[in-house]
Amino acid sequence: MATLHIEHPITDLPTWLRAFNGFGDARTNAGVRSHRVHQPVDDDRYIYVQLDFDTVESAAAFKGLLESVVWKSAEHSPGLGGTPTALVLNAVDTGSA
């Protein structure tokens, strides 16, 4: 399993959530198996998102779509308050060492 970790400033949570929830079909069609959304307890203008995929390739492809299409357009990314950072992560087997 691979995880796409995304973090960025937001303008406000309700606007960002409407955009995030409106993009649900695109996430499903891209192969997102589950997602988690977090905010720091001391910063309501920042968001962390983890999207789980079956493969690194599907996570990387979705990252590419976000970077080349979604985040390039204010229309597609209302609530985005700054430049996102996105990383594709692999799980580490901590029991093997």
In order of their start, the domains of the chain are 2-90 (3.30.70.100)
**CB neighbourhood size of 10 (10 A):** 23
Percentage above 90 pLDDT, the chain: 88
pTM above 0.85, yes or no: yes
CA distance 30 to 52: 11
Q: Over the stretch 53-91, which tens digit does the pLDDT of each residue have?
A: 999 999 999 999 999 999 998 888 999 999 999 999 998
